[in-house]
Structure 1
Amino acid sequence: MRLAGRTALVTGATSNIGRAIAEAFAAEGAHVVVSGRSAERGAEVVDGIRARGGRADFVRADLDGGADASRALAEQATKALGGRIDVLVNNAGVFPGDTTAATDERTFDHVYAVNVKAPFFLTAAVAPAMAEAGGGAIVNLGSWVARLAVPVGALYSSTKGAVETLTRAWAAEFGPRGVRVNAISPGVVLAPAPEGAHPAAAMMRGTPAGRMGTPEAIAHAAVYLASEESSFVHGATLDVDGGRTGVAVIAA
């Protein structure tokens, strides 16, 4: 129960990594706000957490990059959690995989709005309140493609690079006031598919892990960064990527 008595807001928590983080936080004793666009999927996550004895509530939010949307989520989540947010996980994001030449301006603006502007203004709404309450933890979701380039997805990669830079900047800004800010950089992570191997699995060849990761692997890292076990960790990006960015394995 490493998060007993804590409250947490997890964005994009109705599927994949966000859902796994919300479930892991609740299993460790936190009262969690599950946030996302789909009320149906949100209710499914909340019902599952409650069925296992955890505490969770759903707050619908469409984080389109507007400051008003981020502030509204912060206010509603704070109310649902009894007046404070101890942990914020900026997980919500969109992933268009087009090449640079195939990306239009509307897509560019949308991806930056969701992946960078929304967490920027949500952090702006939550971090000062955390500091006033005595401290807290913010966990941002980056990506391995922010540092190991691939031929497609330049737009998405650049947004995750921005998130990792913001992580360090926010650690400098809010760390002295008791708010720790860190990031997780996942590798290729997908829930197991019954139909067999996913095409993305090829991107994990030549790594020590030799396989895709699971959402639960990222959730374990998020629990660590949200808990007091990481009290001396500030401005770090934790690679949970099977060794993708740091190690090359040459098969015999």
Structure 2
Amino acid sequence: MLLEDRNAIIYGGGGQIGGAIARAFAREGARVHLTGRTRTTLEKVADDIRAQGGRAETAEVDALDEAAVDAHADAVARDAGGIDISLSVIADGDVQGTPVAGMSLDDYLRPVTTAVTSKFLTARAAARHMIPRRSGVIMMFGGTGNLSAIRDYHVGGFLTALDAAESLRRQLAVELGRYGIRVVTLRTSGVPETLGADFLEREAIERLIVDPTLLGRAATLEDVGNVAVFAASDWARTLTGTAINMTCGADLD
């Protein structure tokens, strides 16, 4: 197993992407610690993992609450013996569909503030425990993708929030590399499965995601889980300070 006996904290572990990654991590032997603000969604993912023979713990943690993030990371490190992987997939609360020229300042800044705060706090909490062990992987979602593909759709501060995550990834990688800690972001052009059947603009958004790709398809939740396992494993031991591109060719490096 690629992640046997690794301890992984997943912030936003009750969501579709966080849940998919948690299931993939557990399948590969990791003990996953699922955090979020809604106990019922966390327990659903944890129950799925346990039913397959995996190990999962849950905790209600608001990733914007500095004291709560630090206390939970401290408890995991103490009780489980350390933190090997920290992954943030916290939703940024962005407002989409309104042109920038018509947006309020609060609506534009909300996803930026949320992304920077949650990713900084969770990464810092993990790094403090990884540094003495001189190992660990910090992961987050980021990357702006193909801007021309969304010229007719208004995403507000969402792209700025993603760029902020990439900037944080670079800074962390530079500072933490000397301690053997890797930092990567996972980049998709969107995962259509997460839109939901009742999403008002599902078909239009799916076309925005799929049409710019070179492969004629987008990443699935299963793809995201599998790539996240690779990124967190020793098979990716040479990768840090970089984004892992899962855009099916929509974004060319």
Q: Same fold (TM over 0.5)?
A: yes
Letter of the 2:206 counterpart: A
Measured at CA, do residues 206 and 102 of structure 1 come closer, stay the same or move farther in structure 2, by a change above 3 Å? same
Deviation at 1:209, TM superposition (A): 2.2
Letter of the 2:81 counterpart: G
Aligned to 1:90: 88
Aligned to 2:20: 20
SS of equivalent residue, structure 1 residue 35 = strand
Aligned to 2:229: 223
Letter of the 2:165 counterpart: V
Aligned to 2:166: 164
Unaligned runs of 5+ in 1: 248-252
SS of equivalent residue, structure 1 residue 198 = helix
Aligned length: 244
Aligned to 2:218: 212
Of 208-217 and 158-167, the range deviating more from structure 2:
208-217
Aligned to 2:181: 179
In 1, Cα distance between equivalents of 2:113 and 2:75? 21
Deviation at 1:219, TM superposition (A): 1.4
Deviation at 1:232, TM superposition (A): 0.9
Report if the CA contact (8 A) 1:170-1:181 is conserved.
yes
Aligned: 1:126 with 2:126 = yes
SS of equivalent residue, structure 2 residue 124 = helix
Aligned: 1:72 with 2:74 = no
Aligned to 1:235: 241
Deviation at 1:90, TM superposition (A): 1.5
In 1, Cα distance between equivalents of 2:167 and 2:147? 15
Deviation at 1:184, TM superposition (A): 0.9
Aligned to 1:31: 31
In 2, Cα distance between equivalents of 1:39 and 1:54? 19
Aligned to 1:198: 203
Report if the CA contact (8 A) 1:63-1:114 is conserved.
no
TM-score (ref. length: structure 2)? 0.88
Report if the CA contact (8 A) 1:8-1:86 is conserved.
yes
Report if the CA contact (8 A) 1:21-1:219 is conserved.
yes
Unaligned runs of 5+ in 2: none
In 1, Cα distance between equivalents of 2:160 and 2:221? 22
Write the mapping of 1:136-147 to structure 2, written as runs, cut at 5 A. 136-145=136-145
Measured at CA, do residues 68 and 104 of structure 1 come closer, stay the same or move farther in structure 2, by a change above 3 Å? farther
In 2, Cα distance between equivalents of 1:72 and 1:40? 21
In 2, Cα distance between equivalents of 1:198 and 1:39? 31
TM-score (ref. length: structure 1)? 0.88
Report if the CA contact (8 A) 1:141-1:185 is conserved.
yes
SS of equivalent residue, structure 2 residue 162 = helix
In 2, Cα distance between equivalents of 1:174 and 1:85? 15
